[in-house]
Amino acid sequence: MKTIKSSRMNRRRFLKQLGAAGMTASGALNLLPRVQAFPSAPDPAPIVGGPVKNRAPLAPNAFYTLPLGSIRPAGWLLRQLQIQADGLSGHLDETWPDVGPNSGWLGGTGESWERGPYFLDGLIPLAYSLNDPRLKAKAQKFIDWTLSTQSANGMFGPRSNDDWWPRIVMLKALTQYQEATGDTRVIPAFSRYCGHQLGALPNRPLRDWGKYRWQDEALTVLWLYNRTGDPKLLDLVRLLHQQGYDWQAEFVDFRYTQRTTPQAIGLKNGANPPAAMQTHGVNNAQAIKASPVWSVVSSLDADREAVFRQLEALDRYHGLPNGMFSADEHFAGPNPSQGIELCAVVEAMFSLEQSLAILGRPELGDRLERIAFNALPGAFTDDMWAHQYNQEPNQVECSLHRKPWTTDGPESNLYGLEPNFGCCTANFSQGWPKFTASLWMSSHDDGLVAAAYAPCEVHTRVRGTDVHLIEQTEYPFRETVRILVHPASPLAFPLRLRIPAWARNATLQVNGKPQPAPRVGSFALLERTWSAGDRIEIAFPMPPRFSHGFHNSISVERGPLVFSYAIGEDWVKLRDRGMTADWQVYPSTPWNYGLAVDAEKEENAEQISVMELPVGKGPFTRQGAPVRLHAKARKLPNWQSEDGVANPVPPSPVSSDQPEEAIVLLPYAAAKLRITAFPQLKS
């Protein structure tokens, strides 16, 4: 038996020892016996009130997220959330001690820092999106302990630490819980804590992770201000902004334009110096919302626009084809063999959801969908009983190698319970449920907004009237979205539909009558008196298209989906981990292809053919992928891997004397081993 041990400078100032583990042969992923039967849709949700808008002197949002529980998943999205509930998310407390009965957030002596709040921050929206009593009961234990043990001075949480950071996460969880339940304990407890913090921060300021993630608490304090009107809460937001890291300034003169190294950012002796915190992937994902959140207080256009400078810099210097930027653990450049942490994926989604609500900019919705439909499901096994810490767009092996990570360890892209570090184990659950809760929003002028697209039902109140929406679609795998509008009585209100920037020649109909052609990269506005049974139909043409990346490589896209060549997979169990296991994955087929296409052509029907199959139970699985693209390619014998990592993509165009082959491309997340960024062959 081979024993592999390592230590690394990780984000939490801990040393992680990798235990000895034997490797035994195992069946392929589809043999993992975890996915259960899919349920029917939940019972119709009760009518839920509309959102709470910003109070003066705050600037108004463009949109407002609806209270948790207003939106229920349907179709493939419902099935995806149920897989999550039947998998690790719904059973984590039964198999992982860090959120088990001895958790410090249940009064025990176990882990007492961020993992309990992280778990709850995803468990609550999952439970209330599915209306699942079992999951609600699991969450309630943490909520009740937290609220019932608050100190007289307002402090809450385990007494073993007074760090502001884990409490920032718990406040996020509490706001969702209060919206879903109306529990009258939450707002007074939140107010007491804010009063305590306002008095304590001058002498015990934000530090470490809280300093770099201040915007997450600012968001929740503004949530509280909109419900109580207490002006001292705005003083607290200003103090958080003053003590927190100035993300806006970082991207005015962005210095981190290269792949980082431990030496370059000063990692040593377990410390996290400023450069390490500023280049940390999750910090940057959470910081995407920093300038939009602050703009609600400042009302300055410069603050509203700063997020786009930030995203442009992340794309230019570290952008990956799956919609994310590289950071494994720290900025890693644009090479698609570098990775991105799952925590960064779900935190970037949450930042984009909140930024879209504040700013109302459709390009934020485009990016949100790109991440949600590619990077998010790409990090999980089909049954969601195992996940990766880091995923790579060009991922040719998942095994115990030190390469290619900037500062992470050799378990980083294994599929397992807590590969590399357990933060993602606790935190990943928020991805799908919060996306579900952000599909529809309310507009500043008391209308409704389709912010992102997926099958769902909405129950809300518009201008004092109950409104029920049914969104019937197999998007992003199909082009058509149908929306049925059912107000309790005829009602005039505006309805906005996001038209993605890629959706050229989109069409829009209301009750079968064509509407003016919507403009790409905008919100199409429908203003009319709506009656029960009104029908909206949107068609988003999805021809295959190409995008360019590192070394002029090309990636293939269709709608919001990115496509990859699926490498043959040989799954090898590394070790059992309670109710789940850790897995290595080795390639069983060649992968080093260049595409025989002309990426400058706008019409790609002759170069890339599309095959549509039924959208079944597992649209993000290799076996169930409902869209497959066929392309011509040739092998590139000189493009090889080292230590389980694909060498950088050869600069395009490239030559090959190998015979032309027909290859199949699957949606990114369906291919656990994959090539996503291809060299382009010379004509």
User: How do residues 176-186 score in pLDDT, each as one tens digit?
Assistant: 999 999 999 99
Pair 408, 446 in one domain: no
31, part of any domain = no
Task: Give the DSSP letter string of 555-624.
Answer: EEEETTEEEEEE--EEEEEEEEETTEEEEEEEE-S---EEE-S-TT-S--TTTSEEEE----S-TTSTTT
Q: Which of 502, 522, 539 is the last residue of a domain?
A: 539
Pair 144, 219 in one domain: yes
Give the span between the Cα atoms of 418 and 423, in whole angstroms: 8
Average pLDDT over residues 53-78: 98
Average pLDDT over residues 223-242: 98
Pair 190, 315 in one domain: yes
pLDDT of residue 477: 98
* Share of residues in the chain with pLDDT > 70 (%): 92
3-state secondary structure of 646: strand
What would the pLDDT profile of 651-682 be if each residue is shown by its tens digit? 999 999 999 999 999 999 999 999 999 999 99
* Share of residues in the chain with pLDDT > 90 (%): 90
pLDDT of residue 602: 66
Give the span between the Cα atoms of 9 and 16, in whole angstroms: 9
Instruction: Compute CA 517 distance to the chain's CA centroid, rounded to the nearest angstrom.
Output: 31
Of the pLDDT bands very low, low, confident and very high (cuts 50, 70, 90), residue 604 is low
- At a CB cut-off of 8 Å and minimum separation 6, what does 616 contact? 624, 626
> Is the CA virtual torsion 598, 603, 604, 605 positive or negative?
negative
319, part of any domain = yes
Residue 444 has pLDDT above 90, yes or no: yes
Pair 503, 578 in one domain: no
22, part of any domain = no
13, part of any domain = no
- At a CB cut-off of 8 Å and minimum separation 6, what does 608 contact? 544, 556, 597, 629, 630, 631, 665
Average pLDDT over residues 209-226: 98
pLDDT of residue 523: 98
3-state secondary structure of 392: coil
Q: What is the CATH number of the domain that holds 505?
A: 2.60.420
327, part of any domain = yes
Pair 163, 310 in one domain: yes
CB atoms within 10 A of CB 387: 23
Please state the domain count of the chain: 3
Residue 32 has pLDDT above 70, yes or no: no
Higher pLDDT, 40 or 363: 363
Pair 225, 276 in one domain: yes
pTM of the model: 0.93
Of the pLDDT bands very low, low, confident and very high (cuts 50, 70, 90), residue 600 is confident
pLDDT of residue 605: 65
Instruction: List helix spans (H) across 182-318.
Output: 186-200, 208-212, 214-228, 232-243, 247-252, 274-278, 281-287, 290-298, 301-318
Pair 400, 458 in one domain: no
Residue 475 has pLDDT above 90, yes or no: yes
Residue 636 has pLDDT above 70, yes or no: yes
Q: What is the CATH number of the domain that holds 344?
A: 1.50.10.10
Residue 27 has pLDDT above 50, yes or no: no
Residue 4 has pLDDT above 80, yes or no: no
Pair 400, 460 in one domain: no
Give the span between the Cα atoms of 121 and 114, in whole angstroms: 10
pLDDT of residue 292: 98
Residue 14 has pLDDT above 70, yes or no: no
525, part of any domain = yes
Residue 476 has pLDDT above 60, yes or no: yes
Which residues does residue 485 pair with via DSSP β-bridges, in sequence order? 469, 534
pLDDT of residue 436: 98
For residue 607, give its domain range.
Answer: 545-675
Pair 446, 430 in one domain: no
10, part of any domain = no
Of the pLDDT bands very low, low, confident and very high (cuts 50, 70, 90), residue 334 is very high
Pair 549, 413 in one domain: no
Pair 578, 494 in one domain: no
Mean pLDDT of all residues in the chain?
A: 92
Burial class of 329 by CB neighbour count within 10 A (0 to 12, 13 to 18, 19+): buried
325, part of any domain = yes
Pair 332, 460 in one domain: no
CB distance 88 to 387 below 8 Å? yes
pLDDT of residue 683: 81
What would the pLDDT profile of 243-282 be if each residue is shown by its tens digit? 999 999 999 999 999 999 999 999 987 678 999 999 999 9
pLDDT of residue 33: 32
